[in-house]
Amino acid sequence: MTTTTPQPLSFTGKGSEYFKIWIVNLCLSVLTLGIYSAWAKVRRLQYFYRHTQLADACLDYHGDPFVIFKGRVVAFILFGSYSFFIETNPKIGLSLLALIMLAMPWMLVRSFRFQLHNTSYRGLRFSFHGTIGAAFVSFLLMPLLSYLSLGLLWPLARKQITHYLRSSGAYGNCSFAFHGTTGQFYKISLMTFASVLLYLIAVITLGGGLISVSEGMAKGIAVTVAILMFLFGTLFILDIFSVRLQNYIWNNTSLGEIRFVSELSAGKLFLISLSNGLLIFLTLGFYKPYADIRLTSYRIGCLSIQTDADIDSFLAKRESEVAASGEEIAEMFDMDIAF
């Protein structure tokens, strides 16, 4: 029986260094009216991936900027013509939207495949094996049902998406697996819903009371304080929710004998995001690269892996899945679809 030793992931990127990369990327993207942004994306991702270290090796990104560029052109034409037609000829606009929605699962699968196939660790590529049919269920059907059920099915839909994304991934010849349960998704969601509700009631009674008793200047202050409390309090609760969900998802993800441990703290993450936002605003955007580094550094630093065996012996068994996948990768295109 070997001991379980956690292996932390670490991020070694530096703000001052990334600032240089960021500003050159920005300048060239503006000068080329956005065309360079595909090349900029590759440099940015390579910087972040190569500074993500695990067991003395780094991740790497292999995306071809020209492929990303082509994907962006397609996306630009699609969404551009949609927003043009929705204003001028709603009939064409709406049928275009329906078309985009129907093609969405296919585009998503392509984009996940592109992202994972172009990520490597120790010379082995990651891969994505999710089917378009399952993507259709997870990204169109379930969200639609959750909408029709007034959100009651939302945690189920969220679990479905997570399960699809996690268990379709692989590293070399080893698949990722997700063990989370629908019950836990419901528990986390319901607790958040209840906390938001309780918090709202508290703010309304407390703030409302204060506003009704104060007069003149004090009234204005009371209103402002109530609005700020409402805004930041709700943001904080939503932050707690997303952190709990992310921790839960990672803690129930495995790769062969490897288990992941995520120890994000909502308070720290909230403080980092808040101070980042403020500094970006005060520096007219120039703090952005430092903010990105701070956030990534914290997020990655909270993640570690655990194995019963020695990680090197686990890794030694991992082999490349297919040798000749080069051609297939070359014809894929990337679509930047944000989640």
Partner 1 sequence: MRVTANYYDGLNARRYSVELELQNGLLLLHGENIRHELKPEQYKISNRLGSSPRVLLLNNGARCEISDSVAFEQLLAQLNHQPSLVAHLELSWHFVLAIALITLALLTSGYFFGLPLAAEKIAYRISDNTLVLIDKQLIKSIDDELMQPSKLAPARQQAILKRLQMLKLPSNGVKPRQLLFRASPLIGANAFTLPGGTIIVLDELVMLSKNDAEIIAVLAHELGHVTERHALRQILQASVVGVMVGWLVGDISSIIAIAPATLLETRYSRDFERRADNFAAEVLKLNSIPPRRLFDILKRLEQDRSLAISEETQHLTDFFSTHPATSERERILSESYNKGK
**Which residues lie near partner 1 (CB under 8 A)?**
12-14, 17-21, 23-24, 26-28, 30-31, 43, 46-47, 50-51, 56-58, 60, 87-90, 120-124, 172, 231, 235, 273, 276-277, 280-281, 285-286, 288, 291-292, 312, 315-316, 318-320, 323, 338
The CA R_g of the chain, rounded to the nearest whole Å, is 23
When the beta carbons of 156 and 272 are compared against partner 1, the nearer one is 272
When the beta carbons of 200 and 274 are compared against partner 1, the nearer one is 274
3-state SS class at 155: helix
Minimum Å distance from CB 32 to partner 1?
11
Exposure of 305 by Cβ count < 10 A (0-12 exposed, 13-18 middle, 19+ buried)? buried
Closest CA to 55 of 10, 22, 119, 108: 10
For every residue of 200-247, DSSP letters joined together read HHHHHHHHHHHHHH--THHHHHHHHHHHHHHHHHHHHHHHHHHHHHHH
When the beta carbons of 142 and 305 are compared against partner 1, the nearer one is 305
* Tokens coding 317: 């068994």
When the beta carbons of 111 and 160 are compared against partner 1, the nearer one is 111
Look-up: residue for tokens 């068994």?
317
When the beta carbons of 151 and 285 are compared against partner 1, the nearer one is 285
Closest CA to 261 of 273, 246, 241: 246
When the beta carbons of 179 and 317 are compared against partner 1, the nearer one is 317
Minimum Å distance from CB 17 to partner 1?
4
Minimum Å distance from CB 57 to partner 1?
7
Packed helices 288-301 and 15-31: angle between N→C axes, nearest 10 degrees: 130
Minimum Å distance from CB 82 to partner 1?
14
Minimum Å distance from CB 226 to partner 1?
17
User: How many whole angstroms separate alpha carbon 224 and alpha carbon 240?
Assistant: 24
When the beta carbons of 179 and 268 are compared against partner 1, the nearer one is 268
Minimum Å distance from CB 46 to partner 1?
6
Minimum Å distance from CB 145 to partner 1?
26
User: How many whole angstroms separate alpha carbon 287 and alpha carbon 284?
Assistant: 8
